[in-house]
Amino acid sequence: METSASFSLGGAAQIESTRRRARPAPAWVVAGGVVVALLAVLPLILLLSQAASLGWARIQPLLIRPLVGELLVNTALLTVTATIAASVLGLGVAWCVERTDLPGARVWGLIAGLPLTVPAFVTSYSWVSLTPAVQGFAGAVLVLVLAYYPLVYLPVAAVLRGMDPALEENARSLGLSPSRTFLRVILPQARPALFGGGLIVAIHLLAEFGAFAMLRFRTFTTVIYDEYRLSFSGPAAAMLSTVLVGLCVALLLLELRVRGGSHYTRVGRGTARPVGRLRLGWATPVVLLAFVVLLSAALGLPLGTLVYWLTRASAAFTAGDLLGAVATSLGLSAGAAALTTVLALPIAILAVRYPGRLATALERSTYLASSLPGIAVALALVVVAVRFLRPFYQTTPLLLIAYAILFLPLALVSARAALAQASPAVEELARSLGCGPWATFRRVTLPLIAPGLGSGAALVFLFAMTELPATLLLAPIGTQTLATQVWSNTRSLSYGAAAPFAGLMICLSILPTFVLTRKLSALTSSHA
Amino acid sequence: MLSARARRASRLSGILPLRRFRRLLPLFTAFALLAAPSVGRAQTPSPAEQLAGLAARIDSAIEHMSSADVTAAQTDYQAFSDGWNGMSDALQAQSPNDFQSITDEMSAVSSALMSDPLDSAAAEAALQALHDQTTAFVAQSQPTLTLYSAQHQYTTRALVDAFQQQTGIAVRVHYGDDFELAHQLVEEGSSSPADVFFTENSPPLALVDEQGLLARVDPSTLARVSANYNASTGNWVGVAARETVLVYNPQVLGDAQLPQSVLDLGQAAWKGKLAIAPAEPDFQPVVSAVIHLRGEAAAESWLAGFKQNATIYNDNEGIVAAVENGQAGAAIVNHYYWFRAAADTGGPASMRSKLAYFAGGDPGAMLDVSGAGILRSAAHPDLARRFLDFLVSRTGETALVSSGDFEYPLGSGVAASPQVERFDHLQPPNLTPGDLGNGQDAVELLQKVGLL
């Protein structure tokens, strides 16, 4: 550990990837990874076969029509714009919180993650009820950036917090200005977190439905929903879904390309000590004002709307409904978080410790299902379950698997980041001292990556809490979650009746978000 | 930089799992074969379930008795009695005491219905006692019906509660949207857990029916509803209807003439004044009606004009709100969205927007029918038949109206909420749900003009 400081001098922490070919990946990791990846692409395979069964003569008019072109432009433009904007905003917020003398930076840091607790459709609803001007492209970008920027902010902030201050200090002492230090030292270090977060944002934008529906912005996903909602046009929907998958593949390749092959692990962890913060000086009130505006827009407005709904809560709901939905939501989300984290592990281990074609293929394939509309994934799972797993159909285990398929990337990104920061040298040392592979994993690796796994689990928990299409179709009959109650009430215009459920959904999400911010900091600073 | 190997690997990412999946297919198949036997169902319903289905005739007899239709009540009771003779042996073997008490009540009913002069109060009381006795017996065995409902949750709940109170049958409900559930039912096929499918619109029922998944509805149940609201196949029954109306904002439209026909809205005079939610299942029937009544070419040019004139919204709630707050001048919508919005703001009088009804069988006055059907694969066919009969019975339709739903009940002559226009004043086009079919022609046209 003592050597680490000298190693990281001069920004040498960027180590070109050296593939470890010394040992092949253990069989259980490969087997686990293959099974998980298969599970994740299962809905996709079904959709593709459904689309392919049509034959080109019928595919052509479905695929080549004005609407598809329009949607392609809409979806691509929105995904690119909103992802870049969310990344810039997330990075900016993280930098202000972690690297400046912003008054109350710690508190801002905690609050800035909270917009993640508000489902995007609630944010959009509040904006639309405030002003119809947000409907359309610009509004959609605005609202979705506000809803999703924490997905970039949280990991980037964690990286900044965990960075060895020596890097920046050396850069400054060697004559780099603060802005050039940011560009040449901080930005490269934050790059994996930035791109990882950006990728998650982009994939969620591809699959987002509720928000775009409210904002009257048509993307592939909203139109796929329309196809399912209006008619028995399974093939048409499957066709559009394959285009969406194509977009997702393009995104994944793009991310692979810009991320590059560089690794950012340090041999040691450097020293954890407070970093010198930039004095904002005259800019302090401006930055403060920006934070107030941002958080009122992203958090204050939706919460205000909920309070307004609550005051009009005319429709009857019973405490029993409320408590039942809370218990079900908590149980399902916790189950989803646990299962998804476990499933993400073998793939993360493969990707980080045994990189190669198989690892890349398996890891990337888990993203595809997340870019599909929830309804398409859910219906595909109905087919699988009814044909092959009839006894499990509409049972909790199958619903949890559906959640895992939808949210695997969330757990995977965190698990990967955590593994990448845990030095394999420590594991090798344990092995050389006679520890078996399982014991090494349990006693060395797991404690090192636990905080990272925890943050991934917290993210999955958050998203499972608001998941709707898979829950509606696959939950055991009679199951009511907070999300299905909100859906059911808003569908019949009873926003007053929806408010308590939506409010509880947000309250229950606050805890994991705090865990998320705390765990991320623990991940990067606890074991110096 | 990305290494050549990594780039190749990323190209492979789509193909590799596919190949693996193929290898695993035999495994899946084996599992499917193993799982298949567990799907088998009990073939003969229990006596309690048979009786639960049969008891619909007693309910009907009570309703007829209270409206002094003695002959109909006698016919109903006779049907019950015949059914009872077909199943009572099994019941007697299983539960002699219950058999005895039900037989006792039956002889009381018989003598009350046969007495001359007939004391209708006494007959009704005897029928009620028989009803209570059968319900108590049915409730003992705790039968549960599985319902897939696309109707609003508060409506469904009100109906299900009233049903359980009336019959002793519990209902577990799986909620979803019309076509979402229709898709699910088609994918589930014969292994669906559903007994009954209850929708907001007829096309999803027609779709499930086309796939051969629905069973015949009892003629006595169908007879409670005017035939033009039921499936022509007799495989589902209409429960409630909604009228398509023009909601308009007088302040925005000024002195402009209200349209005589929904087809006027395709004319250039309406540019910038309309709101439309083409993806809502309520809009398709209007399009189908135009296609049927005016031909496909006229429908297409009308829709193209409509698209030019209108701002597209995602849902009916959105367009009602848009007209109410003056963003749009007028919109085509089902009447009950406006009444629900009104109920939220303090009644119809407090609304700035108004309703206009198209007359003379204009396609704009299309009625949308909410209905229910029994799955052919239902594990509880008797309970399902009872539920359907209940939905269109006087008790069921009254529960629907008093749940705060503004739909027009279709069964047993029950009147809608007093706030809405009288049902017999409506002048919908002369089209049946069968003419509408599964709505595919409308969807294709909407796709063609780019509204979908």
Any CB–CB contact under 8 A between B4 and chain A?
Answer: no
CB-CB under 8 Å, B279 with A229? yes
Which residues in chain B (56-75) have CB-CB distances under 8 A to chain A?
none
CB-CB under 8 Å, A223 with B17? no
Instruction: Tell me the C-alpha distance between A308 and B195, whole Å.
Output: 40
Determine the residue among B8, B177, B183, B307 to mutate to test chain A binding: the one whose Cβ has the most chain A Cβ atoms within 10 Å: B183
Cα A302 to chain centroid, rounded: 21
| Amino acid A157: pLDDT | 85
* Residue corresponding to tokens 């359907």: B388
Mean pLDDT across A458-486: 89
Which residues in chain B (195-224) have CB-CB distances under 8 A to chain A?
203, 207
pLDDT-derived band at A264 (thresholds 50, 70, 90) equals low
Give rounded-to-5 percent helix, strand, coil for chain B: 60, 15, 30
* Residue corresponding to tokens 């063609």: B448
Side chain identity, residue A149: Y
CB-CB under 8 Å, A261 with B193? no
Chain B, nearest residue to A223 by Cα:
B452
* Residue corresponding to tokens 């007879």: B223
CB-CB under 8 Å, B154 with A315? yes
Run of H or E including B214? strand B214-215
Question: Which of A214, A232, A387 is the closest to B183 by Cβ?
Answer: A232
Q: Are B291 and B443 in contact (CB under 8 A)?
A: no
pLDDT-derived band at A357 (thresholds 50, 70, 90) equals confident
Residues of chain B with pLDDT under 70: 1-43, 255-256
CB-CB under 8 Å, A249 with B9? no
| Amino acid B14: pLDDT | 40
Q: Token digits for A256?
A: 């692979």
Rounded alpha-carbon distances, angstroms, from residue A475 to A112, A387, B444: 33, 17, 32
Q: Token digits for B117?
A: 């002069």
| Amino acid B205: pLDDT | 93
Chain B, nearest residue to A224 by Cα:
B452
CB-CB under 8 Å, B17 with A362? yes
- The larger pLDDT score, comparing residue A375 to residue A265, is at A375
What length does chain A have? 528
Helix segments in A354-395, DSSP class H: 357-368, 374-388
Please give the interface size between A and B, counted as residue pairs whose CB atoms are below 8 Å apart.
178
Cα B256 to chain centroid, rounded: 37
CB-CB under 8 Å, B32 with A229? no
Say yes or no to pLDDT of A48 above 90.
no
pLDDT-derived band at A315 (thresholds 50, 70, 90) equals low
- The larger pLDDT score, comparing residue A285 to residue A255, is at A285
Which residues of A fall within a CB distance of 8 Å from B317? 493
Any CB–CB contact under 8 A between B342 and chain A?
Answer: no
pLDDT-derived band at A273 (thresholds 50, 70, 90) equals low
| Amino acid A274: pLDDT | 63
- How do residues B45-73 score in pLDDT, each as one tens digit? 888 899 998 999 999 999 898 888 889 99
In terms of Cβ atoms closer than 10 Å to its own Cβ (0-12, 13-18, 19+), residue A153 is buried
Instruction: Tell me the C-alpha distance between B292 and B283, whole Å.
Output: 15
Give the number of other CB atoms < 10 A from CB of residue B258: 13
Angle at B272 between CA B266 and CA B277, to 5 degrees: 70
Chain A, nearest residue to B181 by Cα:
A473
Run of H or E including A150? helix A150-162
CA distance A472 to chain B (A): 6
Which residues of B fall within a CB distance of 8 Å from A237? none
Instruction: Tell me the C-alpha distance between A522 and A518, whole Å.
Output: 6
Instruction: Tell me the C-alpha distance between B357 and B55, whole Å.
Output: 41
DSSP tag of B258: P
CA distance A174 to chain B (A): 27
Instruction: Tell me the C-alpha distance between B199 and B196, whole Å.
Output: 10
- How do residues A123-152 score in pLDDT, each as one tens digit? 887 887 777 677 788 888 999 999 999 999
HEC states along A275-339? CCCECCHHHHHHHHHHHHHHHHHHHHHHHHHHHHHHHCCCCCCCHHHHHHHHHHHHHHHHHHHHH
Chain B, nearest residue to A41 by Cα:
B17
| Amino acid A83: pLDDT | 95
Run of H or E including A245? helix A234-259
| Amino acid B342: pLDDT | 86
| Amino acid A23: pLDDT | 65
Which residues of B fall within a CB distance of 8 Å from A394? 174, 193
| Amino acid A314: pLDDT | 54
- The larger pLDDT score, comparing residue A514 to residue B119, is at B119
CA distance A236 to chain B (A): 11
| Amino acid B9: pLDDT | 45
Run of H or E including B244? strand B236-248
Mean pLDDT across A42-58: 83
φ/ψ region of A274 (left if φ > 0, alpha if ψ in -120 to 50, else beta) reads beta
| Amino acid A316: pLDDT | 56
CB-CB under 8 Å, A364 with B13? yes
| Amino acid B18: pLDDT | 44
CB-CB under 8 Å, B281 with A229? yes
Any CB–CB contact under 8 A between B407 and chain A?
Answer: no
- How do residues A61-104 score in pLDDT, each as one tens digit? 777 777 788 888 989 999 999 999 999 999 999 989 888 888 88
| Amino acid B443: pLDDT | 82
Mean pLDDT across A487-511: 78
Chain B, nearest residue to A379 by Cα:
B184
Which residues of B fall within a CB distance of 8 Å from A387? 32
| Amino acid A450: pLDDT | 82
Instruction: Tell me the C-alpha distance between B302 and B294, whole Å.
Output: 10
CB-CB under 8 Å, A360 with B314? no
Determine the 3-state secondary structure of A407 from DSSP.
Answer: helix
Q: Token digits for B373?
A: 């059907």
Chain A, nearest residue to B189 by Cα:
A386
CB-CB under 8 Å, A229 with B179? yes
Rounded alpha-carbon distances, angstroms, from residue B22 to A32, A45, A239, B29: 17, 11, 22, 11
In terms of Cβ atoms closer than 10 Å to its own Cβ (0-12, 13-18, 19+), residue A313 is middle
CA distance B450 to chain A (A): 6
Which residues of A fall within a CB distance of 8 Å from B180? 228-229, 375, 469, 472-473
- The larger pLDDT score, comparing residue B215 to residue A60, is at B215
Mean pLDDT across A108-117: 87
In terms of Cβ atoms closer than 10 Å to its own Cβ (0-12, 13-18, 19+), residue A311 is exposed
List CB contacts of B44: < 8 A, sequence separation 6 or more. Answer: none
For A255-264, A320-329, B2-11, B266-275, which range has the lowest pLDDT when averaged over its residues? Answer: B2-11
Any CB–CB contact under 8 A between B149 and chain A?
Answer: no
Closest CA relative to residue B380, chosen from B192, B209, B155, B125: B192
| Amino acid B262: pLDDT | 93
Q: Are A166 and A253 in contact (CB under 8 A)?
A: no
Helix segments in B213-360, DSSP class H: 219-222, 250-253, 283-294, 296-309, 316-324, 335-345
In terms of Cβ atoms closer than 10 Å to its own Cβ (0-12, 13-18, 19+), residue A398 is buried
CB-CB under 8 Å, A232 with B313? no
Maximum Cα–Cα distance across chain A: 68
CA distance A317 to chain B (A): 10
Chain A, nearest residue to B322 by Cα:
A132
b/e A476-509 (16+ beta carbons within 10 angstroms → b):
eeebbbbbbbbbbbbebbbbbbbbbbbbbbbebb
Closest CA relative to residue A381, chosen from A97, A134, A116, A47: A47
Any CB–CB contact under 8 A between B8 and chain A?
Answer: yes
* Residue corresponding to tokens 């108590």: B136
- How do residues A10-39 score in pLDDT, each as one tens digit? 333 334 344 444 567 788 889 999 999 999
| Amino acid A90: pLDDT | 94
* Residue corresponding to tokens 């793009």: A254
Say yes or no to pLDDT of A5 above 80.
no
Determine the 3-state secondary structure of A129 from DSSP.
Answer: helix
Chain B, nearest residue to A213 by Cα:
B314
Chain A, nearest residue to B340 by Cα:
A493
Question: Which of B207, B312, B344 is the closest to A493 by Cβ?
Answer: B344
Mean pLDDT across A281-298: 90
Instruction: Tell me the C-alpha distance between A224 and B323, whole Å.
Output: 27
Rg value, chain B, Cα: 26
CB-CB under 8 Å, B21 with A42? yes
Determine the residue among B187, B316, B323 to mutate to test chain A binding: the one whose Cβ has the most chain A Cβ atoms within 10 Å: B187
φ/ψ region of A270 (left if φ > 0, alpha if ψ in -120 to 50, else beta) reads left
Closest CA relative to residue B287, chosen from B276, B274, B299: B299
